[in-house]
A and B are shown apart, each in its own frame.
Chain A
């Protein structure tokens, strides 16, 4: 979960200075910051956050493949965000009910992220012909990375007690509703990619991920042992 947040935060950070309107510069940076904050809290329970972020290689990262996908155009970024945040909101909701104190704060952030992505998905899907086509393309392209979201994560309580089937049902219901009101078609293609669903959780990633890590880790690795 920490890796998901870190990697998606990094991708959103790539938008800085490129957003279509000034308000989105703020919104995207804001979401990126929320996610980075989540990653840092989660890492701090496991060890040194910088060691975990900057000194592990591709095969040791456990993020899902969805979050490592390149930004593409704005529709692609918004659909990726919708898919991820809708899942995160439900997952954190369950964890909060199971008594995880961190989840109750994070669920509010995830709700805001989902709401933001949802509004844009609807606006773009039901906007112009071009925006509709781009958004449908994003939905179709990213669909195969969604199955992995519901692969049970190993872990102690409360993560072990998560009802993954309910998560999947809730997610499908929500996403279907959003895509429908955006006049978009829910793909009937399988929700699994080149590797079996759950591959990212086993450290099997897509090609762009290695390049992303190379950029992210370069400076830290160039100065071993330095503090910043």
Chain B
């Protein structure tokens, strides 16, 4: 895993006279690029940036939901929420591992997150103010994430595509559970229904922003699509998401906060109102409602844990195992993953479709 061949080394060992032509041929033929294959520097950099941002989003994304673990209103909901937050940590791990195949390290990426040099999804800068927000995040935020991530299962970079297959399976559980949570509220008491509607009203537009800027303003889109890292444009995916959500909102008995929402017979799609891109820019620049808290909390957890990681490293060194802290506990992970799966399988959820 650590013996990743970088740049020139790979060229000389692979042999082909023109590695770029070889790379482009593989892309054109829809073949997967693997860690040892030659790849253009910009392809590598784009992937590292995207995968790191994706991993960071999983980790920061734990916070808004963890905010409700201690207040979940039933033991069943509490178990579901704990399993979900655990899954997110697991997704973060897969994605950091996948990014490491490109010659970076988790420590380096975390450092970039903590110093603000790498971003995470803008959505997690919004606060979870009520229990219904947990449902809205499941239904809308995970729903948007799935719409974005399913095409990534066919991404040209093999390790990323494989990570996405595992992540998407678990995300779709979460999304169904979120939908089911909202459904229970919507069909509950008047106060519960109002709580659900309020949450959807607050999370709808930020969820649409998760697909990124409009196509004509998206800096990296064209190149990422040519490299088959991305398969669809931001606007295409956003439209797909709206088309999926409208009937689901109806099934929930909730409305979407957009007076311009109407079916367009000609296009065969739902038309929707303008997005407040100024708000999006503000959130990305660090001026969203929770930017400070989220990154502050992450830094704090990392700093508070420094002595634990130091202790694990010191202990490993004494024992001559030389294993860093993270690997020393990694052996416990497979069981954790397997168990989460069991818990999912045991849950009954109403399908939103």
Q: Are A36 and B311 in contact (CB under 8 A)?
A: no
Instruction: Determine the chain B residues whose CB is within 8 A of the CB of A112 once the complex forms.
Output: 335
Q: Are A21 and B75 in contact (CB under 8 A)?
A: no
Q: Which of B75, B86, B304 has the most chain A CB atoms inside 10 A of its CB?
A: B75
CB distance from A86 to the nearest CB of B (A): 18
Q: Are A219 and B309 in contact (CB under 8 A)?
A: no
A40 interface contact, C-beta 8 A:
yes
Interface of B is mostly: helix
Which of the candidate stretches B6-14, B36-44, B65-73 sits at the interface with the other chain?
Answer: B65-73
Instruction: Determine the chain A residues whose CB is within 8 A of the CB of B184 once the complex forms.
Output: 227-228
Give the interface size bracket for A toward B: 35 or more
Q: Which of A20, A49, A53, A126 has the most chain B CB atoms inside 10 A of its CB?
A: A20
A37 interface contact, C-beta 8 A:
yes
Alpha-carbon separation in the docked complex, A131 to B340 (Å): 31
User: Which residue of the partner chain, among B74, B305, B307, B325, contacts A50 with CB atoms under 8 Å?
Assistant: B74
B220 interface contact, C-beta 8 A:
no
Query: Which residue of chain A has the shortest Cβ distance to B305 in the bound complex?
Result: A20
Instruction: Determine the chain A residues whose CB is within 8 A of the CB of B308 once the complex forms.
Output: 20-21, 74, 124, 131
A17-B62, A26-B86, A26-B332 are known; give 11 further A-B pairs, CB within 8 A.
A16-B66, A16-B69, A20-B302, A21-B325, A26-B90, A43-B75, A116-B332, A124-B308, A124-B315, A226-B188, A226-B191
B2 interface contact, C-beta 8 A:
no
- 8 Å CB contacts to A: which residues of B52-66? 59, 62-63, 66
Could you tell me which B residues sit within 8 Å of A by CB distance?
Answer: 59, 62-63, 66, 69-79, 82-83, 85-86, 89-90, 92-93, 96, 106, 131, 181, 184-185, 188-189, 191-192, 297, 300-302, 304-312, 314-315, 318, 325-326, 328-330, 332-333, 335-336, 339-340, 343
A153 interface contact, C-beta 8 A:
no
- 8 Å CB contacts to B: which residues of A24-51? 24-27, 29-30, 32-34, 36-37, 39-40, 43, 49-50
Q: What are 26 A-B pairs at a CB distance below 8 A?
A: A13-B82, A20-B302, A20-B308, A21-B308, A22-B59, A23-B326, A27-B336, A29-B83, A33-B79, A33-B83, A33-B339, A39-B75, A53-B75, A116-B332, A122-B315, A123-B328, A126-B318, A127-B315, A128-B310, A128-B311, A131-B310, A216-B71, A223-B189, A223-B191, A228-B77, A228-B188
Instruction: Determine the chain A residues whose CB is within 8 A of the CB of B335 once the complex forms.
Output: 30, 112
A62 interface contact, C-beta 8 A:
no
Query: Which residue of chain B has the shortest Cβ distance to A27 in the bound complex?
Result: B332
A19 interface contact, C-beta 8 A:
yes
Alpha-carbon separation in the docked complex, A207 to B70 (Å): 18
Q: Are B315 and A10 in contact (CB under 8 A)?
A: no
Alpha-carbon separation in the docked complex, A96 to B131 (Å): 39
8 A-B pairs with the lowest CB-CB distances in the bound complex, closest first: A20-B305, A127-B311, A131-B311, A16-B66, A29-B86, A25-B89, A20-B308, A17-B66
Q: Are A32 and B82 in contact (CB under 8 A)?
A: yes
Instruction: Determine the chain A residues whose CB is within 8 A of the CB of B314 once the complex forms.
Output: 127-128, 131
CB distance from B319 to the nearest CB of A (A): 9
Alpha-carbon separation in the docked complex, A37 to B343 (Å): 10
Alpha-carbon separation in the docked complex, A14 to B67 (Å): 9
A134 interface contact, C-beta 8 A:
yes
CB distance from A183 to the nearest CB of B (A): 10
Alpha-carbon separation in the docked complex, A116 to B304 (Å): 20
Instruction: Determine the chain B residues whose CB is within 8 A of the CB of A50 once the complex forms.
Output: 74-75
Alpha-carbon separation in the docked complex, A94 to B41 (Å): 61
Instruction: Determine the chain A residues whose CB is within 8 A of the CB of B318 once the complex forms.
Output: 126
CB distance from A97 to the nearest CB of B (A): 25
Map CB proximity to B onto A94-114 as digits: 1 under 8 Å, 0 otherwise: 000000000000000000100
Q: Which of A10, A16, A26, A226 has the most chain B CB atoms inside 10 A of its CB?
A: A26
CB distance from B93 to the nearest CB of A (A): 6
Q: Are B70 and A216 in contact (CB under 8 A)?
A: yes
Map CB proximity to B onto A197-228 as digits: 1 under 8 Å, 0 otherwise: 00000000000000000011011100101111
Instruction: Determine the chain B residues whose CB is within 8 A of the CB of A39 once the complex forms.
Output: 75
Alpha-carbon separation in the docked complex, A127 to B336 (Å): 25
Q: Which of B79, B92, B191, B335 has the most chain A CB atoms inside 10 A of its CB?
A: B79
Instruction: Determine the chain B residues whose CB is within 8 A of the CB of A73 once the complex forms.
Output: 304
CB distance from A26 to the nearest CB of B (A): 5
Q: Are A74 and B305 in contact (CB under 8 A)?
A: yes
